[in-house]
Structure 1
Amino acid sequence: MELFEDDTPQPGGNAHDYTVSEISGSVKRVLEGEFGRVRVRGEVGRVSVPRSGHMYFDLKDDRAVIAAVSWKGQVSKMQVRPEEGMEVIASGRLTTFPGQSKYQLIVDTVEPAGAGALMAMLEARKRALAAEGLFADDLKQALPWLPGVIGVVTSPSGAVIRDILHRLRDRFPRHVLIWPVAVQGQSCAPDVARAIRGFNAMAPGGPLPRPELIIVARGGGSIEDLWGFNEEIVVRAAAESAIPLISAVGHETDTTLIDFASDRRAPTPTAAAEMAVPVRRDLAIWLGEAQTRMRRAIRSRIDAWRQRHSDLARALGRPDALIAPAQQRFDLWAERLNPALRSASLRNRASFTALEARMSPGFLSRYLANESRQIVTLSQRFKAAKLRNLQQARKSHADAQAKIADLSQRMVRSQKNQLGQLHEQVRQLEQMRQTLGYSETLKRGYAIVRSGDQLVTSSAVASAAKTLELEFADGRVVIDAGGRSAAPKATAKPRKSPKANPDEDAGDQGSLF
Structure 2
Amino acid sequence: MSDDSYVFEGPADEPAAPRDNNPPLSISELSFALKRTLEARFGHVRLRGEISKVNRHASGHIYLTLKDDKSAIDGVVWKGASRGLGIQPEPGLEVIVTGKITSYPARSSYQIVIESMEAAGAGALLAQLERLKTKLKDEGLFAPERKQPIPGFPAVVGVITSPTGAVIRDILHRIAERWPCHVIVWPCVVQGDAAAAQVANAIRGFDAMTPDGPIPRPDVVIVARGGGSVEDLWAFNDEALARAVAAARIPIISAVGHETDTTLIDFVSDRRAPTPTGAAEVATPVLADLRYTLADLDRRLTGAGGRLIEERRIRLRAVARGLPARPEDLLALPRQRLDHAASRLGSGLQRGIDRQTARFAGVSGRFGRVLLDRVIERRTDRLSAVGTRLIPTLPRRLDQAGVALSALTRALASLDPGKPKPGFARVEDGDGQWLTSATALSPGLGVRLVLADGSRGAHIDDGAEPPPRPRPTPARRPKDPPPGQGDLF
User: Same fold judged by TM-score > 0.5?
Assistant: no
The structure number with the bigger radius of gyration is 2
TM-score (norm 2): 0.42
User: More helix by proportion, 1 or 2?
Assistant: 1
TM-score, with normalisation over the residues of structure 1? 0.40
Report 1 or 2 for greater relative contact order, CA contacts < 8 Å, sequence distance ≥ 6: 1
